[in-house]
Structures are given as C-alpha cells and as structure tokens.
Amino acid sequence: MNLEKAISQSVLDAIQAVYGVKVEETTIQIQQTKREFEGDLTVVTFPFTKLLRKSPEQIGSELGDYLVANNSLISKYNVIKGFLNLSINSSYWLETLSAIYSDANYGLMPVTAESPLMMIEYSSPNTNKPLHLGHIRNNLLGYSISKIQAANGWNVVKTNIVNDRGIHICKSMLAWQKFGNGETPESSGKKGDHLVGDYYVKFDQAYKAEIKALMQEGLSEEDAKRQAPLMQEAQAMLVKWEQNDPEVRALWGTMNGWVYAGFDETYKKMGVDFDKIYYESDTYLVGKGKVEEGLEKGVFYRREDGSVWADLSGDGLDEKLLLRSDGTSVYMTQDIGTAKLRYDDYKIDKMVYVVGNEQNYHFQVLSLLLDKLGFEWGKDLVHFSYGMVELPEGKMKSREGTVVDADDLTEEMIRTARETSEELGKLDGLSEEEIMQIARVVGLGALKYFILKVDPRKNMTFNPKESIDFNGNTGPFIQYTHARIKSVLRKAEAEGFQLHADLGTVEISDKEQYLIQMVNSYPQIVAEAGSEFSPAVIANYVYELVKEYNQFYHDFSIMKEENESLKNFRLVLSASVAKVIRLGMNLLGIEVPERM
C-alpha cells in the first residue's frame, strides 16, 4: 500500500473512531503539502464540516490528535484553516530511500507475454527527401512515448510506415532522369536521401518555370499547373509505376535504396529504432482490397466517374475520397491497408499514431472508417497529435529546399556542444576519443531535451544556442549534475567507503527528506507521463529533481561529513538521485555521461 493510500485509510478510521460516523473513501482529499508549510501530506477537512457540524479547523485538530496518537507513520501535525498538514516520521522516509536504492528497476512495471500490446507508429517519412527538423520532433516523441509506455507495463511494438510511392516520389525520379547525368551517392559523395532530396527541389524549380512560361502565354495559373509538361510526365510515370513498368520500377528501387541507406544512418545517429517497418508500396493494394470489400458491403459507394467514396455525413463529417476515378489510391487507402496488415501481424490492443496536428481530420476519418470495416481497435485508436516545430526564422518548406536538415542539425549540435564544453573547461585532461563521445552525448542530449521538455501538443520554436546552455532547464544542465554525482561516488569508492542500504536511525533535515519525497514520486510521474502520452512530464520532473539536488549539494557536506551513518545516508541519497536521473532521461532517449 502506498503512503497516500495508507494515510487515507487512517483518516477513515479516525473519523469513525472520533465521531462515530462512516464516510466514503472518495470524500478523503489528500495532496502534497505546499513547500511554504510544514508537513509532507495534507488532508482537506472542508468536505466534513456539514456532516460533522464543526469548523474545518476543529476537525483538523481533533483528527490530528488522533492520528499522531494512533499511527506510527505520523510524527506531528499542524492545521491551517481547512488543511490538516501531516509530518511523516523520518524512519518511513529512510526505509523508502533504502528500498529505492536497492531496486535496479525502480519505476518500471514488468512486461510479460501476457501484457497488453500497444503499437506506436512514428517517423513516416517520404522517400523523396531527407529527414528534417519536423521529423526530429516526430521521431523523438514517438521513441520516448514507446519507452514510457513500456515502463508502464505495455508490450510495445515500435513501427514505421515509409511513404515510398506516389506522385512526390515520381517527381524526384523524373528530375533525376532529366537532370541527373547518372549521378549516384558514390559519385557525388552525398548521402542518398540528400541526393534524392536535391532532385525533388530541382523538379519544383523546373515546374515553376514551366508554369510561369505558360501563364505568360495567356493560361490561367490553374490551367498552367495542370498542363505543365513536367507534371504530366510525373503523373504518367506514376501510372506506369502502378502498372509495374519494369524500367520505372527499377529506377524506383534504385533511388529508394539510396534513401533507405541514408535514413538508417540518420536514425542510428538520432538513437531511434523500429521493431517493424511497413512500406506504402506493399500496403496500398491491401487497402484497395479493403475498400472494394467495403464497397460490396455497402459501407462505401461508387460515383459515376468510377471513384469510390465514404459518406460520413451521418457522423457529422463530409464525404471522403478513397479511390480516384483512374483507380489509384490515396493516403487514406494506404492507411486502411497498413491497418489490416498490422492487425494480421499483431494482436493489437491499442494503436497509437504519432503524427502532427495538421492531420487531425485525417485520423478522425480513419478511426471511423476502420470501425466501419470491423477493426476492433479502430474506434479507440489514438492520434497523438503534436504541434509543429519551427526555427526562430520561421517555417520550413521542403519543395523550396528551405528545411533544416536533420543530419546538419545533429552535427551542428555536437560541434556546438564541444565548443561550449571547451570554453567552460569541462573537457580538460580528456583524450580526443573521450571528448568526441562527450560532445556527442551532450549535443544530442541538448537537442532531445529541448524538444521533449515542451508540451508536445504545443507548437514550439527550436533554438540550438539556448539548448546547449549548461544552466537552466536544459539537457546539459541535467547531464552535468549526473556526472557531478558520479564523481562524488567515485571519490567515495576511491577512499574505500562502502555504501550500504541499511540507513539506521540517522537524523535527517527537512531538505533531505523533501529530496527523498521527490525521488519517491518518480513511479507516479512515469504513470502520469504514460496516461498523458507526454515526455514533457518526465523532462520537467527530472529538471526539478536536479535543481533540488544541487541545492542540497550546495548546503550539505557529503565527503567531509564526519558522522559515518550520515555520510552513508547522503551518498545513498545521491546515488538514488543519480539513478532516477538516468532512468528518467533514458525514457526520453537521452544518455547521461559518467563524467563531464
């Protein structure tokens, strides 16, 4: 039984004993005591005034007297208006710390073959361009949410759907055919995804030039866009692809191969991975089959031009295109096909899509369509809708080549981390190999933490310079505190001091007790982050813990403490804080160095 549950039961017993009445457990309100008041837990007495016909202050005093006399957990109390503040016996906090220190899997729920299965989709790149800053937020959120849900006892399958077909892919292919002169990643020295992305930009530049020329000849902008030769050729290439034209398919396979190799390199550097990757080229035909099946069952209907639609007006939405008049599929068709393949592959209890908030309507429709097609989890699917990420300069556009490339950004972060660390003297005396490792860990940690500490549902502006700061709510500040604690523990070990979990009856201060309480709240924080699908809950908790530890480190002696029991206690407390920092940052996909 956790502490709050135990105190709640004691309050129920106290009301029965003191007043001879029985109250429902739901009327007991217990919260953490505010920092400005003495105490650990607060019981709200206002709800009992009507029943007991006494003032909230009188009820607080009478209950406080009974609890101190009859519950060994409670050492003293004070009453402020309708709030009964209870101080928990320090022996309880010492036992709690001892248990935390000894628990290698602290805050993690066990996962077995019988655990419910949650599939989490993230990344979902197109194979016509490299990953950019927007993809970084998506990947970091998806990966962190996967780790948080696994920590909450879910059997998690991390999945990716690669958008490897469609008109946007044909644009890159056509531009390479026309302007590439046989260029390859090997001949150019470029990563494959960067090379293909360059041709996507070249297509757009040439296409815009054609539109401009046609408009000068008197065509409207709409007609010019439709009649531009490049766009017509790209659309013809897409039809050939769907007809399995060997030449188009061979070029498609080659260029996608370049992109996959590039993606793999970026994912590895970013520290994210997947258990299963699906490809739109495999799923769209399955989707078309499910749409045809829905057509036969009367779930969908066909218009005169041959296109297939879903009428969702009865659900408060509009009509949704599922197959074009020429038989080609749309994104929704692909998502239906992917859902079927996933449902065939796994016994999914909950499906989570990590996709930006510009796709809110799409997933509202997908949920309805999957439900109508008989997928058990369709109605309950979770669209984890996150906000856009921008730079201080504003929005990014792929077609115009103004995006911030993920590879360039991670390299810049690592370089900046090294420069900042050198300026602060944190790399003195280290080998080049150690310096490179610390720069990588700090640079990526700064990037990940800066993005994940923000409420994921909000739009955000990413500022690389701010994120590297070794002070304030940043990844490097947290990493440095972890390294500082590890340095203290190494010093203790070098002096032959053996830490042990038996903390005895040592006298501890209110600040030390509060720090234990913070460490003790970690499992509840993990549960909250899981229920809210929010890595920001973990990030900001770890920051507050680190701030509190740094105050303790400043105010209290550790290695110079002469009382051996007190020294052991403070080292065990420090080791437990370091463990929670490491565990919490791990749920964000962030490494913490042993030394900095």
Greater pLDDT, 449 or 595: 449
Mean pLDDT of 362-386: 91
The answer to whether the Cα torsion of 391, 396, 398, 400 is positive or negative is negative
Mean pLDDT of 230-242: 94
Task: State how far the Cα of 196 lies from the Cα of 164, in Å rounded to an integer.
Answer: 12
Is the pTM higher than 0.85? The answer reads yes
Residue labelled with tokens 């908790």: 541
Q: DSSP class of residue 89?
A: P
Residue 308, number of CB atoms within 10 A of its CB: 23
Mean pLDDT of 199-205: 95
The SS3 of residue 488 is: helix
Q: Residue 589: what pLDDT? A: 98
Q: Which residues contact 74 (CB under 8 A, 6 or more apart)?
A: 7, 10, 67, 68, 86, 87, 88, 89
On whether the CB atoms of residues 136 and 407 are closer than 8 A, the answer is: no
Regarding beta strands 155-162 and 276-279, do their DSSP bridges make them parallel or antiparallel, or are they unpaired? parallel
| 19 token code pair | 């007043």
| 443 token code pair | 């640079």
Task: State how far the Cα of 584 lies from the Cα of 544, in Å rounded to an integer.
Answer: 12
Task: Give residue 400's pLDDT band: very low, low, confident or very high (50, 70, 90).
Answer: very low
Task: Give residue 377's pLDDT band: very low, low, confident or very high (50, 70, 90).
Answer: confident
Task: State how far the Cα of 363 lies from the Cα of 390, in Å rounded to an integer.
Answer: 23
Query: Does an H or E element contain 380, and which?
Result: none
Q: Which CA distances in Å does 15 have to 59, 273, 291?
A: 9, 54, 62
- pLDDT at position 248 over 50: yes
Q: Residue 341: what pLDDT? A: 95
Helix axes 167-179, 192-216, angle to 10 degrees: 90
Task: State how far the Cα of 45 lies from the Cα of 83, in Å rounded to an integer.
Answer: 6
- pLDDT at position 402 over 80: no
Task: Give residue 398's pLDDT band: very low, low, confident or very high (50, 70, 90).
Answer: very low
Q: How high does pLDDT run on average in the chain?
A: 93
- pLDDT at position 433 over 50: yes
Burial class (CB in 10 A: 0-12, 13-18, 19+), 23: middle
Residues β-bridged to residue 350: 118
Q: Residue 394: what pLDDT? A: 52
- pLDDT at position 568 over 70: yes
Task: State how far the Cα of 441 lies from the Cα of 141, in Å rounded to an integer.
Answer: 18
Mean pLDDT of 55-67: 95
Q: Residue 399: what pLDDT? A: 44
* Extents of the domains making up the chain: 3-88, 165-273, 406-587
- pLDDT at position 556 over 60: yes
| Residue-wise pLDDT tens digits, 469-528 | 888 899 999 999 999 999 999 999 999 999 999 998 899 998 999 999 999 999 999 999
Domain range 406-587, its CATH number among 1.10.150.20, 3.30.470.20, 1.10.730.10, 3.40.50.920:
1.10.730.10
Topology classification of domain 3-88: Gyrase A; domain 2 (3.30.1360)
- pLDDT at position 334 over 50: yes
Burial class (CB in 10 A: 0-12, 13-18, 19+), 425: exposed
As a dihedral over the C-alpha atoms of residue 479, residue 485, residue 491, residue 493, rounded to 10 degrees, the angle is -110
The CB-side HSE value for 21 (13 A sphere, CA atoms) comes to 10
